[in-house]
Amino acid sequence: MVLQAVIIILLAPFIQGVIKKTKARMQNRIGPSIWQPYYDVIKFMKKDAVLSHHSSWLSIVTPYIVFVSIVTAGIFIPTYSLHNEWNFIGDVILVVYLFGVARFFTALTALDAGGSFGGMGSSREMALSAIAEPALLLALFSVCLSSETMKLPHLVVSLTHNGWDWFAPSYVLAFFAMLIVVIAETGRIPVDNPDTHLELTMVHEGMLLEYSGRYLGLMMWAAQIKQLLLLSLFINLFFPWGIEG
């Protein structure tokens, strides 16, 4: 359990760096180094946080709540091994709820300082969550029904042994639903653009404008970990052949 938590915490910035580098290459740009997210996180963690005079205790505790919630969700998602002593209490519903806790506190704290961009980002995030979270649950439930389990390790084992019936409409719809959810939850185009601060395109970035220093570093790190977990969950459900038993 501890080893898996350490792996996802340390690996998440690397995945973000690879995504940014690949995107830059596809746009005929050199782009930043794949290690740049590590440099950014270290830089932010070394700086003191500056908070608005209108902020409350929520702005202080939320980065820690978000980070712990996302890492805890990562404990129950098989990343490199199916063996985990905490699997008996973790299923797909718990993972979705942990993601929901992080989203709730992020959106709530964006309203804490009373900024217009924070409120706009929060409202957009809640609107997206009303669509993305039910779609995520329905996609997971459709897979769980065929495997007759809601425990993620048992689900992956069942999918590995039994395979996918790609001609079944439920599987096809679950695949595309999960793909759209991953795009929406990781803040990718056309749902969001994580590389801009334009008013018309930002959702998650709008909720982070009031953060600075180590608080901003924790929020960015948590977003990178969530991105890794969603990609891992997508691979586990639809391409589970590389998971070790």
**Residue-wise DSSP of the chain:** -HHHHHHHHHHHHHHHHHHHHHHHHHTT-----TTHHHHHHHHHHHSPP---TT--THHHHHHHHHHHHHHHHHHHS-SSBS--TTGGG--HHHHHHHHHHHHHHHHHHHTTT--HHHHHHHHHHHHHHHHHHHHHHHHHHHHHHHHT---HHHHHHHHHHH---TTSHHHHHHHHHHHHHHHHHTT-TTT--TT---TTT-STGGGGTT--HHHHHHHHHHHHHHHHHHHHHHHHHH-GGG-B-
Cα 165 from Cα 162, distance rounded (Å): 9
At 55, which amino acid appears?
S
pLDDT of 216 strictly over 70: yes
* pLDDT averaged over every residue in the chain: 81
Could you tell me the pTM of the whole model? 0.83
**Between 160 and 217, the higher pLDDT residue:** 217
Supply the pLDDT for residue 191: 67
pLDDT of 231 strictly over 80: yes
pLDDT of 166 strictly over 90: no
Q: How confident is the model at residue 153 (pLDDT cuts 50, 70, 90)?
A: confident
**Between 169 and 73, the higher pLDDT residue:** 73
Supply the pLDDT for residue 32: 85
What does the chain come to in residues? 245
Q: How far is CA 111 from CA 103, 114, 121, 206, in A?
A: 13, 5, 9, 11
Instruction: Find the Cα–Cα–Cα–Cα dihedral 77, 141, 69, 199, rounded to 10°.
Output: 110
Supply the pLDDT for residue 50: 83
pLDDT tens-digit readout, 23-70: 888 888 888 889 999 999 999 998 888 887 778 888 889 999 999 999
Provide mean pLDDT across the span 118-144.
82
Q: How confident is the model at residue 92 (pLDDT cuts 50, 70, 90)?
A: confident
Pick from 86-90, 147-151, 172-176 the range whose average pLDDT is largest.
172-176
Contact, 223 vs 66, CB < 8 A?
Answer: no
pLDDT of 134 strictly over 80: yes
Looking up tokens 């797909």 gives: 92
Supply the pLDDT for residue 129: 84
Cα 197 from Cα 115, distance rounded (Å): 15
